[in-house]
Amino acid sequence: MKFKFISMIAGVVALALLATPLGAKAQDPSSQPSPAVTQPSQHHSPYASLNLTQQQQDQLAQIKSDTHSRINQVLTSDQQNQLQAAIQAGQKRGEAFKSLNLSQEQMTQIKQIWQSSRQQMRAVLTPEQQQQLRAKAQQWRQERQQLPAQEQNQ
C-alpha cells in the first residue's frame, strides 16, 4: 500500500518535472497559475533536449494545464492551500503531496489523472522523441538509485 502511494507520488512529481518549462513558453503571461499545483522554474525538463516543434510545446503545455486543473479538483481547498504553502516553503513536491493526508479515493483519482496525462504526453511525441525520453528517464532512475548510497558514504 505504502509502495503504491509512493509510486503514485513519484509519478505526479515526474509529470510535474517533465512538463515544467513547457508551460512557461505557452502560457499567457497575464494568466495566473492554479493555486495548488504550480511549477518551480529551477528544474530542467527532459523535453528541452527533444527539439519539440511549437505545436508539440503548445500541446504539452495544454496537457500540463489540464492535469493541474484536474488534480486541483480532487484536492480540497485546504489541501490546495497546504500544498501551495509547502511548495513555496521549498518542500519537495512529493513530500508536499505526502503531507496532505490524501484519502484512498483521492490517491486513486490522482494516479489515474497522472497515467492519463502521461499517455497523452507520449502521444504528442514522435517515436524517436519517445525513445530519447525513455533514455533520459532511465538515466534519472540510475542517478536517483545512486543518491542513497552517496548519502550513506558521507
How far is it, in rounded angstroms, from Cα 123 to Cα 116? 11
Chain position carrying cell 525538463? 45
Among 6-15, 62-71, 141-150, name the one with the lowest average pLDDT.
6-15
pLDDT band at residue 151 using 50, 70 and 90 as cut-offs: low
Q: Regarding predicted confidence, which is higher, 52 or 6?
A: 52
Asked whether residue 83 carries a pLDDT value surpassing 80, the answer given is: yes
CA distance 70 to 115: 12
Please choose, from the candidates 84, 104, 85, the residue with its C-alpha nearest in 3D space to the C-alpha of residue 5. Answer: 104
pLDDT at residue 30 is higher than 50: no
**Cα(108)–Cα(71) distance, rounded to whole angstroms?**
11
Whether the predicted pLDDT of 132 surpasses 50: yes
Share of the chain above pLDDT 70, in %: 66
Terminal Cα-to-Cα distance of the chain (whole angstroms): 31
Supply 21's cell numbers.
Answer: 518549462
